[in-house]
Amino acid sequence: MKIDDLIRRRVEAALLDRDGSCRDINFSEFILTSRAIDVLEFLASSWTYVQAMTGEGYEIASAELQSNLQLASGSLSTIWNGGRNPKHLQAYFHWNEPDKVFCEITFFPKDIDSGTFKLMEFLSMLGKLVSVAGSDEYYLPYEDASWRRGQQKNDAVILSDKVLLLSPA
């Protein structure tokens, strides 16, 4: 993966900018249920499961995550700790029918250790995550209620497949 210096500096500064907002990783509008399960497995390989809640407010055990995603409809919010840059993540899944799962991964710049942060390692992790999600698209925007999936010309979008194609390696 090749990234020019201008993009590198802009992306790194935006990821580390402790402005109080979070950063979201979004994929294609919907991913398959099996891919949402793969995302959970990917997260479990690098972070430690802390908690999950259904949209109805019920806490569920890690062993129930996959079966919950296989319900006809629902939502699931998960919290993960112990990773490396970012140390903490949240993953949100919402679906109204099978195989049309909205998935968003959220982290805060304060959860990135700027002393050990390496952009290429982050991009490698992001590439693997996008690949696991089976998505042709990805967007990494600042938290911004006015941003809409698919927008390309907005300062809120830090990085997307329109700017940098990621490889899962």
User: What is the percent of the chain with per-residue pLDDT over 90, rounded to a whole number?
Assistant: 71
**Domain boundaries of the chain, sorted by first residue:** 5-160
Check if the beta carbon of residue 106 is closer than 8 Å to that of residue 24.
yes
81-95, 115-129, 149-163: least confident range: 149-163
CA angle (123, 54, 71) in 5-degree steps: 90
**What is the model's pTM?**
0.89
Q: With bands split at pLDDT 50, 70 and 90, how would you rate the model's confidence at 149?
A: low
**What average pLDDT does range 104-117 have in this prediction?**
94
Asked if the model's pLDDT at residue 29 lies above 80, the reply is: yes
Q: What is the pLDDT of residues 95-108, one digit of tens each?
A: 999 999 999 999 99
**What average pLDDT does range 38-49 have in this prediction?**
97
Asked if the model's pLDDT at residue 159 lies above 50, the reply is: yes
Q: What is the DSSP letter of 18?
A: -
Q: With bands split at pLDDT 50, 70 and 90, how would you rate the model's confidence at 168?
A: low
Q: With bands split at pLDDT 50, 70 and 90, how would you rate the model's confidence at 145?
A: very low
CA atoms within 13 A on the CB side of 20: 0
Work out the mean pLDDT of the chain and round it to a whole number.
Answer: 90
The reported pLDDT for the residue numbered 154 is 54
Q: Give me the DSSP letters along 20-68.
A: S--EEEEESS-B-HHHHHHHHHHHHHHSEEEEEEETTS-B--GGGHHHH
